[in-house]
Amino acid sequence: MNTLSYKTVSQTKEGVVRKWYIVDADGEVVGRLCSRIARVLRGKHKPNFTPHIDTGDYIIVINADKARFTGQKMNQKEYIRHTGYPGGQRVRTAREQMEKHPERIIESAVRGMLPKNRLGRQMIKKMFVYAGNEHPHQAQKPEDFKF
């Protein structure tokens, strides 16, 4: 009998080939942009995606200060952090956060879309966010990521 047997191939850590991509956030809606970034960091855009292995690629995000929100989120959305001291809860609106630390908006949105475990903490380290147009990763020869 001449039957073909197909076997599901599971990716290994050693066999992962990673690329560097650059994403321009100029004029992009924050939530939609970050969900695409999280997908690439997780590796779901690859045919050999394996849930328990970090198969994702590196992402460089430029112009994070030019990303935008829809509706009234710029004034109503709040970013909460805690200093670690009693009564140390601090709140900033999206507008204030965009003026002081625009890269943290993208970082916190993508972090919320990744797994909440060791694997997710490993994945977030492959993302580099910059407020301006310049980045120090020219040696890696990043290519534009088409969504």
Q: Which domains does the chain have, with CATH numbers?
A: 20-57+64-144 (3.90.1180.10)
Q: How far apart are CA 147 and CA 145, in angstroms?
A: 6
Note the pLDDT of residue 2.
Answer: 60
User: How many C-alpha atoms does 103 have within 13 Å on its Cβ side?
Assistant: 11
DSSP for 31-99? HHHHHHHHHHHHTTTSTT--TTS----EEEEE-GGG-B--TTHHHH-EEEEE-SSTT-EEEEEHHHHHH
Q: Between β-strands 20-24 and 127-129, what pairing exists: parallel, antiparallel or unpaired? A: unpaired
Note the pLDDT of residue 22.
Answer: 97
The whole-number average pLDDT for the span 47-55 is 93
Is residue 5 over pLDDT 80? no
pLDDT in tens, 60-72: 999 999 999 999 9
Q: Is the dihedral of CA 95, 112, 29, 64 positive or negative?
A: positive
8 falls in which pLDDT band (50, 70, 90)? confident
Q: What is the dihedral of CA 48, 52, 58, 62, to 10 degrees?
A: 120
Note the pLDDT of residue 82.
Answer: 97
6 falls in which pLDDT band (50, 70, 90)? confident
Note the pLDDT of residue 118.
Answer: 97
Percent pLDDT > 90 in the chain is 90
The whole-number average pLDDT for the span 102-130 is 97
**Coil vs helix vs strand at 12:** coil
Note the pLDDT of residue 1.
Answer: 54
Note the pLDDT of residue 3.
Answer: 66
